[in-house]
A = this chain, B = another copy of it.
Amino acid sequence: MTDTRAVKDALRRQQIETPSWAYGNSGTRFKVFAQRGVPRTPQEKIDDAAQVHRFTGVAPSVAVHIPWDRVDDYAALAAHAKERGVRIGAVNTNVFQDDDYMLGSVTNPDPAVRRKALDHLLEAVDIMDQTGSRDLKLWFSDGTNYPGQDDIRARQDRMAEALAAVYERLGDDQRFLLEYKLFEPAFYMTDLPDWGASYAHCVKLGPKAQVVVDTGHHAPGTNIEFIVAFLLREGKLGGFDFNSRFYADDDLMVGAADPFQLFRIMYEVVRGGGYDAATGVAFMLDQCHNIEPKIQGQIRSVMNVQEATAKALLVDAGALRAAQEAGDVLEANAVFMDAYNTDVRPLLAELREEMGLHPDPVAAYKASGYYERVVAERKDGHAAGWGA
């Protein structure tokens, strides 16, 4: 038996961070389709993110991406966010969109390029100091396309060196979240291809180095919830980049491809104590709305995470433990599935009303006229996109 009130309280506390780049245009290597009303500045991206929080109540922060969100005055940007009812969250670095990085950034065979990349990472910590952000997110596209192209081990040495330098620079209340990814854009070898590699580097550096799990970055068949459970046990789960995929790093809306997997992940988070604020697990979205409207896509994604969380919280822990200890495979599975099969939408609607929100965030957003307004306002100027 689970206590609905406790479930609601937990859901009320949930904080899901949306990424500034999700509001701009994005696409595949084949085509970036332009959408109307897309923001043209970092400020407008924050405005859009604030809408997601306005209608869901659980998306109070926005991740920024440097240099895509570079401004002269980050304190002013933070103030702009505050004015809109949100705050600036993780600072994401970008060492993959400069011609110099063709053969890598911090693992590049050329020391000058490595230096340039490291300087960018350190600059990002400077920005964190101004925005008050706790988390630095590190994703490296570094890797090679052809066997023999570069030395795998030497690249690890260079990676270790760069990470140590960044770690050294972090303030007492700052940390970095180290991402890993199987492939893309590197197609033979990626320097941090899996959780094991990120974990090994983080363990050596210390508590301010944590692993971040992007749910789209694994080999087919990978049991992601195992990784979540394992990292939580080790005290090394820094957070999530949520999205979903059928094939590769598809960056679809979280929960769209395999809602049962999302539930299993959230169950392990809850089970492992990762839902408690104290553990510092950050719940972030990182996805691309290539063909669907962006703000609405983010709202839907936030709701998908909420629903999976609600189901995870509804698992009858006592009954589950009893069945597991008895070795009753079907009963344990049945208890688990019972929570998953529950329709939690009424409970969430109720919660929203208790929070003073419309029970249906998508309908409320559509009715708000925000989209029509920004389409009109933003029709001139350069729409932001991945890389701008």
Residues of B within 8 A of A229 (CB): 152-153, 156
- Is the Cβ of A145 less than 8 Å from the Cβ of B226? no
A386 sits at the interface (CB 8 A)? yes
Interface window among A59-67, A332-340, A375-383: A332-340
A231 to chain B, nearest CB (A): 9
Interface size on A, residues (CB 8 A): 105
Residues of B within 8 A of A146 (CB): 252-253, 256, 292, 329-330, 332-333
Inter-chain CA distance A330–B101, complex, in Å, is 17
A300 sits at the interface (CB 8 A)? yes
Residues of B within 8 A of A257 (CB): 188
Flag A307-344 by CB within 8 Å of B: 1 or 0 each: 10000000100001100110101101111110011110
- Is the Cβ of B341 less than 8 Å from the Cβ of A307? yes
Interface window among A3-11, A23-31, A74-82, A129-137: A23-31
Copy count, this protein chain? 4
- Is the Cβ of B327 less than 8 Å from the Cβ of A247? no
Inter-chain CA distance A386–B292, complex, in Å, is 24
Residues of B within 8 A of A194 (CB): 194-196, 222
Inter-chain CA distance A248–B185, complex, in Å, is 11
Inter-chain CA distance A225–B156, complex, in Å, is 13
A149 sits at the interface (CB 8 A)? yes
A189 sits at the interface (CB 8 A)? yes
Residues of B within 8 A of A329 (CB): 103, 145-146, 149, 291-292
A85 sits at the interface (CB 8 A)? no
- Is the Cβ of A271 less than 8 Å from the Cβ of B233? no
A221 sits at the interface (CB 8 A)? yes
- Knowing A28-B184, A194-B194, A200-B234, the reply to whether A34 touches B99 (Cβ < 8 A) is yes
A351 sits at the interface (CB 8 A)? no
Residues of B within 8 A of A221 (CB): 182-183, 219-220, 246-247
A356 sits at the interface (CB 8 A)? no
Residues of B within 8 A of A337 (CB): 147-148
**A223 closest partner in B (C-beta):** B189
**A141 closest partner in B (C-beta):** B30
Q: Among residues 284 to 306 in chain A, which have CB atoms less than 8 Å away from a CB atom of chain B?
A: 290-293, 296-297, 300
- Knowing A146-B252, A258-B258, A345-B341, the reply to whether A327 touches B110 (Cβ < 8 A) is yes
- Is the Cβ of A189 less than 8 Å from the Cβ of B226? yes
Q: Among residues 268 to 286 in chain A, which have CB atoms less than 8 Å away from a CB atom of chain B?
A: 268, 271-272
Contacts A184-B247, A219-B221 supplied; 5 other A-B pairs, CB < 8 Å: A30-B96, A151-B324, A152-B225, A188-B257, A194-B194
A residues with CB within 8 A of B = 26-31, 33-34, 96-97, 99, 101-103, 109-110, 141, 145-154, 156-157, 182-185, 187-190, 193-197, 199-200, 203, 218-223, 225-227, 229-230, 232-234, 245-248, 250, 252-253, 256-260, 264, 268, 271-272, 290-293, 296-297, 300, 307, 315, 320-321, 324-325, 327, 329-330, 332-337, 340-343, 345, 362, 386-387
Pairs of residues from A and B, 3 with the lowest C-beta to C-beta distance, nearest first: A196-B196, A148-B336, A219-B219
List 14 interface pairs A-B (beta carbons < 8 Å), by A numbering: A30-B141, A152-B229, A153-B268, A184-B248, A193-B226, A194-B195, A195-B196, A197-B226, A218-B219, A220-B220, A247-B248, A260-B260, A291-B329, A296-B330
